[in-house]
Amino acid sequence: MAARKSIEQMHESHWEAHERVEATSEFRAWIAGEATETGSTIETRDPAIDYPVTEVTACDEGAVDAAVDAGWEAYEGAWGATDPAERGRLLFEWADRLRSHTDELALLETVDTGKPIAHARGEVEGAIDTLEYYASLARDQSGDQIQTGDDLHLYTREEPYGVVGQIVPWNFPTWGAAWKFGPALAAGNACVLKPSAQSPLTAIRIAELSAEVFPDGAINVVPGTGAETGAALTDHAGVRKLSFTGSTTVGSTVMHDAADTITPVTLELGGKSPFIVFPDADLEKAVDAVASGIFYATGEICDAFSRALVHEDVIDEFTDRFVETAESYVIGDPLDEETTLGPLTSRDQYEKVTEYIEIGKAEATLLTGGGRPAGDGLENGWYVEPTVFGDVTNDMRIAREEIFGPVQTIIEFATYEEAIEIANDTEYGLAAGIGTERTDLVHHAAADIDAGLVYVNEYGPIRPEAPYGGFKDSGIGKDLGREALDHYRRTKSVYVNLGSPSL
């Protein structure tokens, strides 16, 4: 269903929001603790009405050089001199400052991505929670003493890399930035972060809100395109570690670039995640989990449950319930609190998703959706109805390729072995879900599924305490958890030979 609002009302509310956005910041690059212009800009557009929001500084190779230099100056100076306890205190201070700007940041996220305001607010809160987790973890860092003979004292030190380069995607710009900044700063690195050209506003703003909290140069944000700004960052010899979140295709390019400078990488990439509905599943819970897993963020999420694998005994009932749930989503103005499904983030993504829907119509059975919603006021936005395909087999393109939109496929299975085989028959391995009331099925399936995340009877939550990342083409390494902290540190072994204690 669609929230009713005239096109005039939609435009008026969004133009007012744009005025508030422009009053917030000039949205320049953030380098060495100050807003920086380059003479070049990029336009960010509001996907709900396909209208420009504001212009943002675009960084060239020279600006990236300046940001990396600023990072090294900070690392070799005031920021590098901080101890873990002080880093934790500063992260807490930054998180407190961001919390006081929650509504402002949520508005930026909504007009930049089309994300419903209630969801945007929750994600800003999730970003703050992530920073607070790493603030708590900062002082809980240690090395190891290795037992040897009496003539040797052998221990390890965990040290930061220095300056790290980080690239975040357009679908979760605030939360994604916190996932990068939190562990990197807690470990003692200086950061150069590139937000997506499609949704750069919140990353710039949270960097501005770090002013006078961190030493200048500890946090740098360089907006711009992947081809220019991203390439300058991944090619840079002064960047000692790279962390990238985005598509598998671009992640492969980042990895090739990093190879030239022998730079270690963390990659969080695409997915085609299954949710297995076993015959004993509570169908109400399973339907809600799968719907949340494909329609939250309009399906623009890497761990989306885009393949529902349903046992033959319950597939008819599951499908009926799922279609009903899909049709209950409130499609409308993302600035309205009651909206539960906003537009896709860009024209390019809209064209990609609608092309896949046409492919799906030729391959499978369209059960609901498949077009633009008919609600008033939505004509100019990049809206796609929640779409569900039945009679899908796992060899179809809509079951194998990442669509990144609100498009669900329902696939039938008969045995446990078949369910696991279908679930693992993909180049991706980011996430999976299990719907069952049986403990033995939970633990066996969780072990047998080849994915880095397994959700049981729910979609989420994502907690900063747990590592997040996938297998196979879904990436290398982890965001979140203690493991992410380890990705931003190097281990040094120190051998101290001891003489005789005699006087």
- Could you confirm whether 191 is annotated as catalytic? no
Q: In 3D, which of 68, 125, 417 has the Cα closest to residue 276?
A: 417
**How many Cα atoms occupy the beta-carbon half-sphere of 495 within 13 Å?**
4
Q: In 3D, which of 295, 303, 313 has the Cα closest to residue 353?
A: 295
Cα separation, 404 vs 67, in Å, equals: 32
Give the active site residue among 104, 132, 208, 268.
268
422, 413 Cβ separation under 8 angstroms: yes
Element (H, E) at 149: none
Cα separation, 258 vs 227, in Å, equals: 15
Burial environment of residue 84 by CB neighbours within 10 A (0 to 12, 13 to 18, 19 or more): middle
Which ranges constitute the DSSP H helices of 330-393? 347-363
DSSP state letter for 297:
G
- Could you confirm whether 412 is annotated as catalytic? no
Burial environment of residue 7 by CB neighbours within 10 A (0 to 12, 13 to 18, 19 or more): middle
Cα separation, 409 vs 414, in Å, equals: 17
Rg of the chain taking only CA atoms, in angstroms = 24
Q: φ and ψ at 57, to 5 degrees?
A: -55, 135
Give the active site residue among 302, 385, 402, 412.
302
Element (H, E) at 106: helix 102-113
162, 192 Cβ separation under 8 angstroms: no
Other residues' Cβ atoms within 10 Å of the Cβ of residue 477? 17
454, 432 Cβ separation under 8 angstroms: yes
400, 418 Cβ separation under 8 angstroms: no
The pair of structure tokens assigned to 373 is 């919603």
* Amino acid in the structure at residue 15: W
Catalytic residue IDs:
268, 302
